[in-house]
Structure 1
Protein backbone atom coordinates (compact mmCIF):
# COMPACT_ATOMS: atom_id res chain seq x y z
CA UNK A 1 0.00 0.00 0.00
CA UNK A 2 2.78 2.43 0.88
CA UNK A 3 4.03 2.82 -2.71
CA UNK A 4 0.55 4.02 -3.72
CA UNK A 5 0.00 6.42 -0.82
CA UNK A 6 1.33 9.93 -1.48
CA UNK A 7 1.89 13.01 0.58
CA UNK A 8 -0.14 15.00 -1.94
CA UNK A 9 -3.17 12.74 -1.49
CA UNK A 10 -3.05 13.35 2.25
CA UNK A 11 -2.70 17.09 1.73
CA UNK A 12 -5.83 17.05 -0.43
CA UNK A 13 -7.67 14.89 2.13
CA UNK A 14 -6.67 17.21 4.97
CA UNK A 15 -7.74 20.31 3.03
CA UNK A 16 -11.16 18.86 2.15
CA UNK A 17 -11.73 17.83 5.78
CA UNK A 18 -10.89 21.32 7.00
CA UNK A 19 -12.76 23.31 4.35
CA UNK A 20 -15.66 20.96 3.64
CA UNK A 21 -15.54 21.73 -0.09
CA UNK A 22 -13.42 20.57 -3.00
CA UNK A 23 -13.31 24.06 -4.49
CA UNK A 24 -12.00 25.62 -1.28
CA UNK A 25 -9.48 22.80 -0.83
CA UNK A 26 -8.24 23.48 -4.38
CA UNK A 27 -7.72 27.15 -3.48
CA UNK A 28 -5.82 26.23 -0.32
CA UNK A 29 -3.47 23.93 -2.24
CA UNK A 30 -3.28 26.22 -5.30
CA UNK A 31 -4.53 23.54 -7.67
CA UNK A 32 -7.71 22.68 -9.59
CA UNK A 33 -10.96 21.13 -8.41
CA UNK A 34 -10.60 18.07 -10.71
CA UNK A 35 -7.10 17.50 -9.31
CA UNK A 36 -8.43 17.47 -5.73
CA UNK A 37 -11.30 15.15 -6.70
CA UNK A 38 -8.87 12.78 -8.41
CA UNK A 39 -6.53 12.68 -5.39
CA UNK A 40 -9.45 11.97 -3.03
CA UNK A 41 -10.65 9.19 -5.33
CA UNK A 42 -7.11 7.76 -5.45
CA UNK A 43 -6.89 7.86 -1.65
CA UNK A 44 -10.22 6.02 -1.34
CA UNK A 45 -8.80 3.36 -3.67
CA UNK A 46 -5.70 3.07 -1.48
CA UNK A 47 -7.67 2.90 1.78
CA UNK A 48 -10.47 0.72 0.38
CA UNK A 49 -13.09 2.65 2.38
CA UNK A 50 -15.28 5.66 1.67
CA UNK A 51 -13.97 8.99 2.95
CA UNK A 52 -16.75 11.49 2.24
CA UNK A 53 -20.50 11.69 1.67
CA UNK A 54 -22.02 14.57 -0.26
CA UNK A 55 -24.69 16.69 1.48
CA UNK A 56 -25.69 19.31 -1.08
CA UNK A 57 -22.52 21.30 -1.77
CA UNK A 58 -20.89 20.10 1.43
CA UNK A 59 -18.66 17.04 1.80
CA UNK A 60 -19.25 15.24 5.11
CA UNK A 61 -16.44 12.96 6.33
CA UNK A 62 -17.30 9.37 7.23
CA UNK A 63 -16.41 7.91 10.62
CA UNK A 64 -13.45 6.18 8.99
CA UNK A 65 -12.25 9.49 7.51
CA UNK A 66 -12.41 11.20 10.90
CA UNK A 67 -10.35 8.41 12.46
CA UNK A 68 -7.77 8.77 9.67
CA UNK A 69 -7.73 12.57 9.99
CA UNK A 70 -6.82 12.38 13.68
CA UNK A 71 -3.70 10.42 12.78
CA UNK A 72 -2.89 12.66 9.79
CA UNK A 73 -2.95 15.68 12.09
CA UNK A 74 -0.65 13.99 14.63
CA UNK A 75 1.89 12.67 12.16
CA UNK A 76 1.31 14.40 8.87
CA UNK A 77 4.77 13.63 7.52
CA UNK A 78 4.85 10.04 8.76
CA UNK A 79 3.47 8.15 5.76
CA UNK A 80 4.54 4.79 7.13
CA UNK A 81 2.55 5.31 10.34
CA UNK A 82 -0.46 6.63 8.45
CA UNK A 83 -0.39 3.63 6.13
CA UNK A 84 -0.47 1.37 9.19
CA UNK A 85 -3.46 3.28 10.59
CA UNK A 86 -5.32 2.81 7.30
CA UNK A 87 -4.75 -0.93 7.58
CA UNK A 88 -5.93 -0.88 11.20
CA UNK A 89 -9.16 0.99 10.38
CA UNK A 90 -9.99 -1.22 7.42
CA UNK A 91 -9.24 -4.44 9.34
CA UNK A 92 -11.14 -3.33 12.50
CA UNK A 93 -7.98 -3.09 14.59
CA UNK A 94 -8.72 0.53 15.41
CA UNK A 95 -11.95 2.46 15.96
CA UNK A 96 -14.66 3.30 18.43
CA UNK A 97 -18.38 2.82 18.87
CA UNK A 98 -20.63 5.05 20.99
CA UNK A 99 -23.99 3.46 21.82
CA UNK A 100 -27.08 4.68 23.69
CA UNK A 101 -29.65 2.12 24.78
CA UNK A 102 -32.93 1.90 26.64
CA UNK A 103 -32.53 0.23 30.06
CA UNK A 104 -34.39 -2.90 28.93
CA UNK A 105 -31.44 -3.56 26.59
CA UNK A 106 -28.61 -1.62 28.25
CA UNK A 107 -28.64 -3.49 31.59
CA UNK A 108 -27.78 -6.95 30.23
CA UNK A 109 -28.56 -7.54 26.54
CA UNK A 110 -26.20 -4.89 25.15
CA UNK A 111 -23.37 -5.65 27.63
CA UNK A 112 -23.56 -9.31 26.57
CA UNK A 113 -23.28 -8.34 22.90
CA UNK A 114 -20.51 -5.80 23.58
CA UNK A 115 -18.49 -8.41 25.49
CA UNK A 116 -18.77 -10.80 22.55
CA UNK A 117 -17.90 -8.01 20.10
CA UNK A 118 -14.69 -6.90 21.83
CA UNK A 119 -13.53 -10.51 21.94
CA UNK A 120 -13.89 -10.60 18.16
CA UNK A 121 -12.59 -7.05 17.59
CA UNK A 122 -10.26 -6.19 20.52
CA UNK A 123 -9.01 -3.01 18.83
CA UNK A 124 -12.43 -1.35 18.98
CA UNK A 125 -13.39 0.75 22.02
CA UNK A 126 -17.11 0.61 22.84
CA UNK A 127 -18.93 3.10 25.08
CA UNK A 128 -22.46 2.43 26.32
CA UNK A 129 -24.95 4.92 27.79
CA UNK A 130 -28.13 3.63 29.44
CA UNK A 131 -30.91 6.17 28.86
CA UNK A 132 -34.68 6.34 28.49
CA UNK A 133 -35.95 5.81 24.95
CA UNK A 134 -36.65 9.52 24.54
CA UNK A 135 -33.15 10.38 25.81
CA UNK A 136 -31.67 7.86 23.35
CA UNK A 137 -33.50 9.69 20.57
CA UNK A 138 -32.07 13.03 21.73
CA UNK A 139 -28.54 11.60 21.94
CA UNK A 140 -28.71 10.25 18.38
CA UNK A 141 -30.05 13.55 17.09
CA UNK A 142 -26.77 15.18 18.20
CA UNK A 143 -25.00 13.06 15.53
CA UNK A 144 -22.33 12.18 18.13
CA UNK A 145 -23.59 8.64 18.82
CA UNK A 146 -23.17 5.79 16.36
CA UNK A 147 -26.11 3.59 17.33
CA UNK A 148 -29.18 3.83 19.52
CA UNK A 149 -31.61 1.19 20.74
CA UNK A 150 -35.05 2.23 21.99
CA UNK A 151 -38.80 1.64 21.83
CA UNK A 152 -40.46 4.71 20.35
CA UNK A 153 -43.67 5.95 18.76
CA UNK A 154 -42.25 9.27 17.56
CA UNK A 155 -39.47 10.33 15.20
CA UNK A 156 -36.83 13.05 14.95
CA UNK A 157 -35.75 14.62 11.64
CA UNK A 158 -32.07 14.11 12.49
CA UNK A 159 -32.49 10.40 13.28
CA UNK A 160 -33.30 7.37 11.15
CA UNK A 161 -35.52 4.93 13.07
CA UNK A 162 -36.23 1.39 11.96
CA UNK A 163 -37.44 -1.80 13.68
CA UNK A 164 -34.64 -4.17 14.56
CA UNK A 165 -36.66 -6.89 16.32
CA UNK A 166 -40.28 -7.55 17.30
CA UNK A 167 -41.41 -10.19 19.78
CA UNK A 168 -44.44 -10.72 22.05
CA UNK A 169 -44.43 -9.37 25.60
CA UNK A 170 -44.40 -11.93 28.40
CA UNK A 171 -46.27 -12.57 31.60
CA UNK A 172 -43.77 -12.90 34.47
CA UNK A 173 -44.55 -14.91 37.60
CA UNK A 174 -42.73 -15.85 40.81
CA UNK A 175 -41.19 -19.31 40.84
CA UNK A 176 -43.85 -21.83 41.94
CA UNK A 177 -46.82 -19.58 41.14
CA UNK A 178 -49.95 -21.63 40.25
CA UNK A 179 -50.38 -19.78 36.93
CA UNK A 180 -47.00 -21.14 35.91
CA UNK A 181 -48.77 -24.43 35.15
CA UNK A 182 -50.50 -22.79 32.19
CA UNK A 183 -48.85 -22.67 28.75
CA UNK A 184 -50.14 -19.14 28.13
CA UNK A 185 -52.03 -16.54 30.12
CA UNK A 186 -55.21 -14.74 29.11
CA UNK A 187 -56.65 -11.50 30.51
CA UNK A 188 -58.96 -13.34 32.91
CA UNK A 189 -55.95 -15.03 34.57
CA UNK A 190 -54.86 -11.65 35.92
CA UNK A 191 -58.21 -10.78 37.53
CA UNK A 192 -57.71 -9.81 41.20
CA UNK A 193 -54.13 -11.07 41.11
CA UNK A 194 -51.45 -8.94 42.89
CA UNK A 195 -49.92 -7.05 39.98
CA UNK A 196 -46.77 -4.96 39.56
CA UNK A 197 -47.64 -2.31 37.00
CA UNK A 198 -45.45 -0.37 34.59
CA UNK A 199 -45.31 3.39 35.14
CA UNK A 200 -48.18 5.29 33.52
CA UNK A 201 -45.75 7.41 31.46
CA UNK A 202 -44.44 4.33 29.60
CA UNK A 203 -46.15 3.76 26.24
CA UNK A 204 -46.70 0.01 26.68
CA UNK A 205 -48.70 0.63 29.88
CA UNK A 206 -51.73 1.64 27.81
CA UNK A 207 -51.41 -1.49 25.67
CA UNK A 208 -51.43 -3.65 28.79
CA UNK A 209 -54.55 -1.82 30.02
CA UNK A 210 -56.24 -2.65 26.70
CA UNK A 211 -55.19 -6.30 27.10
CA UNK A 212 -56.95 -6.46 30.48
CA UNK A 213 -60.03 -4.70 29.11
CA UNK A 214 -60.47 -7.48 26.54
CA UNK A 215 -61.33 -9.91 29.33
CA UNK A 216 -62.79 -7.34 31.73
CA UNK A 217 -59.92 -8.22 34.10
CA UNK A 218 -59.01 -5.99 37.04
CA UNK A 219 -55.67 -6.94 38.62
CA UNK A 220 -54.94 -5.71 42.14
CA UNK A 221 -52.13 -3.15 41.80
CA UNK A 222 -49.54 -3.64 44.54
CA UNK A 223 -46.55 -1.75 43.14
CA UNK A 224 -45.44 0.42 40.21
CA UNK A 225 -42.00 0.62 38.55
CA UNK A 226 -40.55 2.28 35.46
CA UNK A 227 -38.06 -0.41 34.41
CA UNK A 228 -38.76 -3.97 33.31
CA UNK A 229 -35.78 -5.12 35.39
CA UNK A 230 -37.24 -3.50 38.52
CA UNK A 231 -40.59 -5.17 37.87
CA UNK A 232 -38.93 -8.57 37.42
CA UNK A 233 -37.01 -8.10 40.68
CA UNK A 234 -40.30 -7.41 42.47
CA UNK A 235 -41.89 -10.44 40.84
CA UNK A 236 -38.89 -12.63 41.69
CA UNK A 237 -39.28 -11.62 45.32
CA UNK A 238 -42.96 -12.55 45.39
CA UNK A 239 -44.55 -9.10 45.24
CA UNK A 240 -46.95 -10.11 42.48
CA UNK A 241 -47.13 -10.94 38.78
CA UNK A 242 -46.70 -8.64 35.80
CA UNK A 243 -46.26 -8.19 32.05
CA UNK A 244 -42.93 -6.94 30.63
CA UNK A 245 -41.05 -6.67 27.34
CA UNK A 246 -39.57 -9.96 26.13
CA UNK A 247 -35.80 -9.40 26.48
CA UNK A 248 -35.87 -8.69 30.21
CA UNK A 249 -38.36 -11.49 30.79
CA UNK A 250 -36.12 -13.94 28.89
CA UNK A 251 -33.00 -12.90 30.81
CA UNK A 252 -34.65 -13.30 34.24
CA UNK A 253 -36.26 -16.60 33.21
CA UNK A 254 -32.94 -17.94 31.91
CA UNK A 255 -31.38 -17.10 35.28
CA UNK A 256 -34.08 -19.19 36.97
CA UNK A 257 -35.45 -16.23 38.92
CA UNK A 258 -38.95 -16.05 37.43
CA UNK A 259 -41.37 -17.93 35.18
CA UNK A 260 -42.15 -16.30 31.83
CA UNK A 261 -45.24 -17.24 29.84
CA UNK A 262 -46.76 -16.08 26.51
CA UNK A 263 -49.93 -14.00 26.44
CA UNK A 264 -53.12 -14.61 24.48
CA UNK A 265 -53.88 -12.48 22.60
CA UNK A 266 -50.27 -11.52 21.94
CA UNK A 267 -48.92 -8.05 22.69
CA UNK A 268 -46.12 -7.36 20.18
CA UNK A 269 -43.19 -5.29 21.44
CA UNK A 270 -40.90 -3.59 18.93
CA UNK A 271 -37.27 -2.64 19.55
CA UNK A 272 -36.03 0.21 17.35
CA UNK A 273 -32.60 0.86 15.88
CA UNK A 274 -31.63 4.53 15.71
CA UNK A 275 -28.80 5.92 13.59
CA UNK A 276 -27.79 9.53 12.82
CA UNK A 277 -29.59 10.78 9.73
CA UNK A 278 -26.67 12.92 8.56
CA UNK A 279 -24.15 10.11 8.13
CA UNK A 280 -24.16 6.44 7.25
CA UNK A 281 -23.29 3.83 9.92
CA UNK A 282 -19.57 3.04 10.03
CA UNK A 283 -18.20 -0.36 9.09
CA UNK A 284 -17.62 -0.99 12.79
CA UNK A 285 -21.27 -0.21 13.55
CA UNK A 286 -22.46 -2.56 10.81
CA UNK A 287 -20.28 -5.36 12.17
CA UNK A 288 -21.75 -4.76 15.65
CA UNK A 289 -25.32 -4.89 14.30
CA UNK A 290 -24.69 -8.36 12.91
CA UNK A 291 -24.08 -9.55 16.47
CA UNK A 292 -27.12 -7.67 17.77
CA UNK A 293 -29.48 -9.41 15.36
CA UNK A 294 -27.94 -12.81 16.08
CA UNK A 295 -28.27 -12.29 19.84
CA UNK A 296 -31.94 -11.31 19.52
CA UNK A 297 -32.65 -14.53 17.66
CA UNK A 298 -30.65 -16.63 20.12
CA UNK A 299 -32.50 -15.15 23.10
CA UNK A 300 -36.02 -14.84 21.67
CA UNK A 301 -36.10 -16.94 18.52
CA UNK A 302 -36.77 -15.59 15.01
CA UNK A 303 -38.57 -12.24 15.21
CA UNK A 304 -40.71 -10.26 12.80
CA UNK A 305 -39.29 -6.94 11.60
Structure 2
Protein backbone atom coordinates (compact mmCIF):
# COMPACT_ATOMS: atom_id res chain seq x y z
CA UNK A 1 0.00 0.00 0.00
CA UNK A 2 1.20 3.47 -0.86
CA UNK A 3 -0.34 6.07 1.42
CA UNK A 4 1.08 9.36 2.65
CA UNK A 5 1.03 10.59 6.21
CA UNK A 6 -1.16 13.49 5.09
CA UNK A 7 -3.75 11.10 3.69
CA UNK A 8 -3.79 9.28 7.01
CA UNK A 9 -4.21 12.57 8.86
CA UNK A 10 -7.23 13.45 6.72
CA UNK A 11 -8.77 10.04 7.32
CA UNK A 12 -8.23 10.35 11.09
CA UNK A 13 -9.70 13.86 11.11
CA UNK A 14 -12.90 12.71 9.33
CA UNK A 15 -13.19 9.79 11.74
CA UNK A 16 -12.82 12.11 14.73
CA UNK A 17 -15.30 14.70 13.44
CA UNK A 18 -17.79 12.24 11.85
CA UNK A 19 -18.13 14.95 9.22
CA UNK A 20 -16.35 15.81 6.00
CA UNK A 21 -17.11 19.51 6.34
CA UNK A 22 -15.97 19.73 9.97
CA UNK A 23 -12.79 17.82 9.16
CA UNK A 24 -12.13 20.09 6.19
CA UNK A 25 -12.53 23.15 8.41
CA UNK A 26 -10.18 21.72 11.05
CA UNK A 27 -7.57 20.87 8.42
CA UNK A 28 -8.07 24.14 6.53
CA UNK A 29 -8.90 22.26 3.36
CA UNK A 30 -11.89 22.36 1.07
CA UNK A 31 -14.57 19.71 1.52
CA UNK A 32 -14.08 18.39 -2.04
CA UNK A 33 -10.35 17.96 -1.31
CA UNK A 34 -11.16 15.95 1.81
CA UNK A 35 -13.68 13.81 -0.09
CA UNK A 36 -11.16 13.09 -2.85
CA UNK A 37 -8.53 12.11 -0.27
CA UNK A 38 -10.89 9.65 1.44
CA UNK A 39 -11.82 8.15 -1.93
CA UNK A 40 -8.12 7.72 -2.71
CA UNK A 41 -7.46 6.05 0.64
CA UNK A 42 -10.41 3.68 0.18
CA UNK A 43 -9.15 2.86 -3.31
CA UNK A 44 -5.73 1.94 -1.94
CA UNK A 45 -6.99 -0.20 0.96
CA UNK A 46 -9.70 -1.76 -1.22
CA UNK A 47 -12.66 -1.24 1.09
CA UNK A 48 -15.15 1.38 2.26
CA UNK A 49 -13.99 3.04 5.44
CA UNK A 50 -17.07 5.19 6.06
CA UNK A 51 -20.79 4.76 5.71
CA UNK A 52 -22.23 8.05 4.54
CA UNK A 53 -25.71 9.41 5.18
CA UNK A 54 -27.10 12.86 4.66
CA UNK A 55 -26.77 13.52 8.38
CA UNK A 56 -23.64 11.69 9.50
CA UNK A 57 -20.47 9.93 8.51
CA UNK A 58 -19.66 6.78 10.45
CA UNK A 59 -16.78 4.34 10.37
CA UNK A 60 -17.46 0.92 8.95
CA UNK A 61 -16.05 -2.13 10.71
CA UNK A 62 -13.12 -2.03 8.30
CA UNK A 63 -12.77 1.69 8.94
CA UNK A 64 -12.59 1.15 12.70
CA UNK A 65 -9.79 -1.37 12.26
CA UNK A 66 -7.96 0.86 9.81
CA UNK A 67 -8.26 3.80 12.21
CA UNK A 68 -6.21 1.93 14.81
CA UNK A 69 -3.54 1.33 12.18
CA UNK A 70 -3.57 4.94 10.96
CA UNK A 71 -3.47 6.33 14.51
CA UNK A 72 -0.47 4.17 15.38
CA UNK A 73 1.37 5.26 12.24
CA UNK A 74 0.64 8.94 12.89
CA UNK A 75 1.71 8.67 16.52
CA UNK A 76 4.96 6.93 15.62
CA UNK A 77 5.65 9.42 12.83
CA UNK A 78 5.16 12.40 15.14
CA UNK A 79 7.14 10.78 17.92
CA UNK A 80 10.01 10.01 15.56
CA UNK A 81 10.02 13.56 14.24
CA UNK A 82 10.04 14.81 17.80
CA UNK A 83 13.04 12.64 18.61
CA UNK A 84 14.82 13.84 15.50
CA UNK A 85 14.06 17.45 16.34
CA UNK A 86 15.43 16.92 19.85
CA UNK A 87 18.52 15.32 18.30
CA UNK A 88 18.99 18.31 16.03
CA UNK A 89 18.55 20.61 19.01
CA UNK A 90 21.26 18.64 20.89
CA UNK A 91 18.81 17.64 23.62
CA UNK A 92 18.87 13.87 23.12
CA UNK A 93 21.09 11.13 21.77
CA UNK A 94 24.29 9.31 22.66
CA UNK A 95 27.71 10.87 22.27
CA UNK A 96 30.94 8.90 22.55
CA UNK A 97 34.07 10.90 23.31
CA UNK A 98 37.59 9.48 23.13
CA UNK A 99 40.18 11.48 25.04
CA UNK A 100 43.62 11.43 26.55
CA UNK A 101 43.33 10.33 30.21
CA UNK A 102 44.59 13.66 31.57
CA UNK A 103 42.03 15.56 29.51
CA UNK A 104 39.20 13.23 30.49
CA UNK A 105 40.06 13.58 34.17
CA UNK A 106 40.63 17.32 33.99
CA UNK A 107 39.04 19.33 31.20
CA UNK A 108 36.14 16.96 30.49
CA UNK A 109 35.34 16.32 34.13
CA UNK A 110 34.91 20.06 34.60
CA UNK A 111 32.19 20.39 31.94
CA UNK A 112 30.24 17.12 31.94
CA UNK A 113 27.84 18.11 34.72
CA UNK A 114 26.97 21.47 33.16
CA UNK A 115 26.63 19.91 29.72
CA UNK A 116 24.30 17.11 30.81
CA UNK A 117 22.16 19.07 33.30
CA UNK A 118 19.88 20.68 30.66
CA UNK A 119 19.97 17.51 28.52
CA UNK A 120 18.50 14.65 30.58
CA UNK A 121 17.97 12.56 27.43
CA UNK A 122 21.63 12.71 26.41
CA UNK A 123 23.97 9.87 27.33
CA UNK A 124 27.70 10.58 27.28
CA UNK A 125 30.25 7.79 26.86
CA UNK A 126 33.86 8.69 27.62
CA UNK A 127 36.72 6.38 26.68
CA UNK A 128 40.41 7.07 27.24
CA UNK A 129 43.65 5.97 25.65
CA UNK A 130 46.92 7.14 24.14
CA UNK A 131 46.86 9.70 21.35
CA UNK A 132 47.19 6.89 18.82
CA UNK A 133 44.40 4.84 20.40
CA UNK A 134 42.08 7.85 20.56
CA UNK A 135 42.55 8.62 16.87
CA UNK A 136 42.10 4.98 15.91
CA UNK A 137 38.75 4.87 17.72
CA UNK A 138 37.66 8.00 15.92
CA UNK A 139 38.64 6.64 12.50
CA UNK A 140 36.90 3.32 13.17
CA UNK A 141 33.69 5.12 14.09
CA UNK A 142 33.86 3.97 17.71
CA UNK A 143 33.92 7.60 18.88
CA UNK A 144 32.05 10.67 17.66
CA UNK A 145 34.59 13.16 18.97
CA UNK A 146 38.25 12.91 19.96
CA UNK A 147 40.03 15.25 22.36
CA UNK A 148 43.75 14.78 22.09
CA UNK A 149 46.95 16.31 20.81
CA UNK A 150 47.49 17.11 17.16
CA UNK A 151 49.93 14.64 15.60
CA UNK A 152 50.87 13.63 12.05
CA UNK A 153 48.22 10.90 12.44
CA UNK A 154 45.57 13.65 12.63
CA UNK A 155 45.84 14.26 8.88
CA UNK A 156 42.49 14.05 7.11
CA UNK A 157 40.43 14.76 10.23
CA UNK A 158 38.46 17.90 11.03
CA UNK A 159 40.43 19.79 13.68
CA UNK A 160 39.21 22.46 16.09
CA UNK A 161 42.28 23.73 18.00
CA UNK A 162 42.09 24.12 21.77
CA UNK A 163 45.51 25.72 22.15
CA UNK A 164 48.97 24.93 23.42
CA UNK A 165 49.62 22.71 26.42
CA UNK A 166 53.12 23.62 27.69
CA UNK A 167 55.26 21.33 29.80
CA UNK A 168 55.86 22.25 33.42
CA UNK A 169 57.95 20.80 36.18
CA UNK A 170 55.72 19.62 39.02
CA UNK A 171 57.17 19.91 42.52
CA UNK A 172 55.88 19.84 46.11
CA UNK A 173 55.15 23.29 47.50
CA UNK A 174 58.16 23.07 49.83
CA UNK A 175 60.58 22.10 47.06
CA UNK A 176 63.57 24.39 46.28
CA UNK A 177 62.14 25.10 42.82
CA UNK A 178 58.64 25.89 44.09
CA UNK A 179 59.14 29.67 44.20
CA UNK A 180 60.71 29.89 40.74
CA UNK A 181 58.83 31.67 37.95
CA UNK A 182 60.30 29.22 35.47
CA UNK A 183 62.83 26.42 35.36
CA UNK A 184 65.26 25.02 32.82
CA UNK A 185 65.26 21.37 31.89
CA UNK A 186 68.87 21.06 33.05
CA UNK A 187 67.77 22.31 36.49
CA UNK A 188 65.81 19.08 36.92
CA UNK A 189 68.90 16.89 36.57
CA UNK A 190 69.77 17.54 40.22
CA UNK A 191 66.65 15.86 41.54
CA UNK A 192 65.15 12.39 41.59
CA UNK A 193 62.71 12.21 38.69
CA UNK A 194 59.51 10.20 38.18
CA UNK A 195 59.26 9.28 34.50
CA UNK A 196 56.23 8.37 32.40
CA UNK A 197 56.57 5.18 30.40
CA UNK A 198 57.67 5.11 26.77
CA UNK A 199 54.79 5.38 24.33
CA UNK A 200 52.92 8.09 26.24
CA UNK A 201 52.70 11.63 24.91
CA UNK A 202 54.08 12.97 28.20
CA UNK A 203 57.17 10.78 27.84
CA UNK A 204 57.70 11.99 24.28
CA UNK A 205 57.55 15.60 25.45
CA UNK A 206 59.82 14.89 28.41
CA UNK A 207 62.41 13.24 26.18
CA UNK A 208 62.27 16.24 23.85
CA UNK A 209 62.93 18.62 26.73
CA UNK A 210 65.85 16.66 28.16
CA UNK A 211 67.40 16.09 24.73
CA UNK A 212 69.07 19.52 24.81
CA UNK A 213 70.72 18.79 28.16
CA UNK A 214 72.64 15.84 26.70
CA UNK A 215 71.90 13.99 29.92
CA UNK A 216 69.16 11.76 31.27
CA UNK A 217 67.18 12.56 34.41
CA UNK A 218 67.73 10.51 37.56
CA UNK A 219 64.72 8.28 37.03
CA UNK A 220 63.87 6.57 40.29
CA UNK A 221 60.48 5.28 39.15
CA UNK A 222 58.92 4.73 35.71
CA UNK A 223 55.10 4.65 35.66
CA UNK A 224 52.50 4.30 32.94
CA UNK A 225 49.84 6.63 34.35
CA UNK A 226 49.83 10.26 35.41
CA UNK A 227 47.94 9.57 38.62
CA UNK A 228 50.51 6.96 39.60
CA UNK A 229 53.21 9.60 39.21
CA UNK A 230 51.17 11.93 41.41
CA UNK A 231 50.93 9.23 44.07
CA UNK A 232 54.68 8.67 43.93
CA UNK A 233 55.34 12.40 44.31
CA UNK A 234 53.00 12.47 47.28
CA UNK A 235 55.30 9.91 48.91
CA UNK A 236 58.33 12.13 48.33
CA UNK A 237 59.91 9.92 45.68
CA UNK A 238 60.81 12.76 43.35
CA UNK A 239 59.54 15.40 40.95
CA UNK A 240 58.15 15.07 37.43
CA UNK A 241 57.14 17.03 34.33
CA UNK A 242 53.54 17.25 33.15
CA UNK A 243 51.64 19.29 30.58
CA UNK A 244 49.84 22.24 32.17
CA UNK A 245 46.45 20.64 31.42
CA UNK A 246 47.22 18.10 34.14
CA UNK A 247 47.04 20.77 36.81
CA UNK A 248 43.25 20.65 36.99
CA UNK A 249 43.30 17.24 38.64
CA UNK A 250 46.85 16.40 39.73
CA UNK A 251 46.36 17.35 43.41
CA UNK A 252 47.02 20.97 42.51
CA UNK A 253 46.72 22.03 46.15
CA UNK A 254 49.80 19.94 47.01
CA UNK A 255 52.06 20.72 44.05
CA UNK A 256 53.35 23.69 42.12
CA UNK A 257 53.46 23.76 38.30
CA UNK A 258 56.42 25.76 37.01
CA UNK A 259 56.80 26.51 33.28
CA UNK A 260 59.82 24.86 31.68
CA UNK A 261 62.16 26.63 29.26
CA UNK A 262 65.38 26.09 27.35
CA UNK A 263 63.65 24.61 25.48
CA UNK A 264 59.97 25.43 25.76
CA UNK A 265 58.15 22.21 24.97
CA UNK A 266 54.42 21.93 24.38
CA UNK A 267 51.79 20.00 22.51
CA UNK A 268 48.82 21.34 20.58
CA UNK A 269 45.45 20.11 21.81
CA UNK A 270 42.34 19.90 19.69
CA UNK A 271 38.86 18.49 19.28
CA UNK A 272 38.77 16.24 16.23
CA UNK A 273 35.96 14.79 14.10
CA UNK A 274 36.00 12.42 11.18
CA UNK A 275 35.81 14.31 7.88
CA UNK A 276 32.74 12.28 6.90
CA UNK A 277 29.97 11.98 7.88
CA UNK A 278 29.45 15.48 9.23
CA UNK A 279 29.31 15.70 13.05
CA UNK A 280 25.92 15.69 14.72
CA UNK A 281 24.45 18.78 16.32
CA UNK A 282 25.13 17.14 19.69
CA UNK A 283 28.81 16.71 18.82
CA UNK A 284 29.04 20.33 17.67
CA UNK A 285 27.39 21.60 20.84
CA UNK A 286 29.69 19.48 22.99
CA UNK A 287 32.71 20.85 21.14
CA UNK A 288 31.54 24.39 21.89
CA UNK A 289 31.37 23.49 25.58
CA UNK A 290 34.90 22.06 25.46
CA UNK A 291 36.20 25.20 23.75
CA UNK A 292 34.56 27.43 26.35
CA UNK A 293 36.01 25.37 29.20
CA UNK A 294 39.45 25.44 27.61
CA UNK A 295 39.36 29.24 27.28
CA UNK A 296 38.25 29.59 30.89
CA UNK A 297 41.08 27.32 32.02
CA UNK A 298 43.57 29.43 30.08
CA UNK A 299 42.14 32.62 31.58
CA UNK A 300 42.49 31.31 35.12
CA UNK A 301 46.02 30.17 34.43
CA UNK A 302 46.88 33.53 32.90
CA UNK A 303 48.03 31.87 29.69
CA UNK A 304 47.43 33.02 26.14
CA UNK A 305 47.51 30.18 23.61
CA UNK A 306 47.28 30.01 19.88
Q: Under a length normalisation based on structure 2, what TM-score does the superposition of the two structures give?
A: 0.68
**Structure 2 equivalent of residue 261 of structure 1:** 258
The equivalent position to 1:172 in structure 2, one of 170, 173, 179, is: 170
TM-aligned CA deviation for residue 161 of structure 1:
4.5
Q: 1:250 to 1:163 in 2, by over 3 A?
A: same
The equivalent position to 2:199 in structure 1, one of 198, 201, 212, is: 201
| Contact 1:101–1:129 (CA under 8 A) maintained in structure 2 | yes
**Structure 1 equivalent of residue 234 of structure 2:** 236
TM-aligned CA deviation for residue 126 of structure 1:
0.9
TM-aligned CA deviation for residue 129 of structure 1:
1.0
| Contact 2:164–2:269 (CA under 8 A) maintained in structure 1 | yes
Structure 2 CA distance, aligned partners of 1:121 and 1:206?
38
Q: Deviations over 1:200-250 (max 9, x none)?
A: 223443442342343455431111122333222322331111111111134
Q: Report the 3-state secondary structure (helix = DSSP H, G, I; strand = E; otherwise coil) of the residue aligned with 2:108.
A: helix
Structure 2: which 5+ runs fail to align? Answer: 8-71
Structure 2 CA distance, aligned partners of 1:286 and 1:303?
24
Q: 1:83 to 1:151 in 2, by over 3 A?
A: closer
**Structure 2 equivalent of residue 88 of structure 1:** 86
Q: 1:278 to 1:203 in 2, by over 3 A?
A: same
**Structure 2 equivalent of residue 189 of structure 1:** 187
| Contact 2:162–2:270 (CA under 8 A) maintained in structure 1 | yes
Matched, 1:102 2:100: yes
Structure 1 CA distance, aligned partners of 2:255 and 2:266?
21
Structure 1: which 5+ runs fail to align? Answer: 1-5, 10-73
**Structure 2 equivalent of residue 136 of structure 1:** 134
What is the aligned-residue RMSD (CA, Å)?
Answer: 2.7
Q: Deviations over 1:8-37 (max 9, x none)?
A: 79xxxxxxxxxxxxxxxxxxxxxxxxxxxx
Q: Give the 5 Å matches for 1:9-48.
A: none
Structure 1 CA distance, aligned partners of 2:265 and 2:276?
34
Aligned length: 235
Q: Give the 5 Å matches for 1:106-121.
A: 106-121=104-119
TM-aligned CA deviation for residue 162 of structure 1:
5.1
TM-aligned CA deviation for residue 262 of structure 1:
0.9
| Contact 1:174–1:240 (CA under 8 A) maintained in structure 2 | no
| Contact 1:107–1:130 (CA under 8 A) maintained in structure 2 | no
| Contact 1:196–1:225 (CA under 8 A) maintained in structure 2 | yes
TM-aligned CA deviation for residue 88 of structure 1:
2.4
TM-aligned CA deviation for residue 78 of structure 1:
3.0
Rg larger in 1 or in 2? 2
**Structure 2 equivalent of residue 54 of structure 1:** none
